Amino acid sequence: MMAMIMATITGMGSTEMAAPGPQDTSARQTRLVALVIAGTMILWMAGQQIGAELGLPLKYTFLLDLAALAGFIWALIVTYQIWRKRRT
């Protein structure tokens, strides 16, 4: 029902609204990258603070740093892929 209302308002047919286009996919990936970057930074900062307060050994802090680095590298790779798709 809602799809029919949106199709009427926007003037698009139901077949046009059913299939997500490349812009929708790109926007979804961009939002995911933004969430991963923000979440990784928040979790990394919280982990550093909690580790310092609890007096955890340095090896656990280093493990947390590597996990955050992996999240940032993943976000960089996906951002590069989005950029390449938009260039063509």
Q: In the chain, where are the structural domains located?
A: 23-87
The model's pLDDT over 24-61, given as tens digits with 9 standing for 90+, comes to: 888 999 999 999 999 999 999 999 999 999 999 999 99
**Cβ–Cβ under 8 Å, residues 36 and 49:** no
pLDDT, tens digit, for every residue of 57-81?
Answer: 999 999 999 999 999 999 999 999 9
pTM over 0.85: no
Helices (H) and strands (E) in the chain, counts: 4, 0
Rounded to 10 degrees, what is the CA torsion of 29, 31, 37, 40? Answer: -100
Structure tokens at 87: 């260039």
**CB proximity list for 32: less than 8 A, separation 6 or greater:** 78
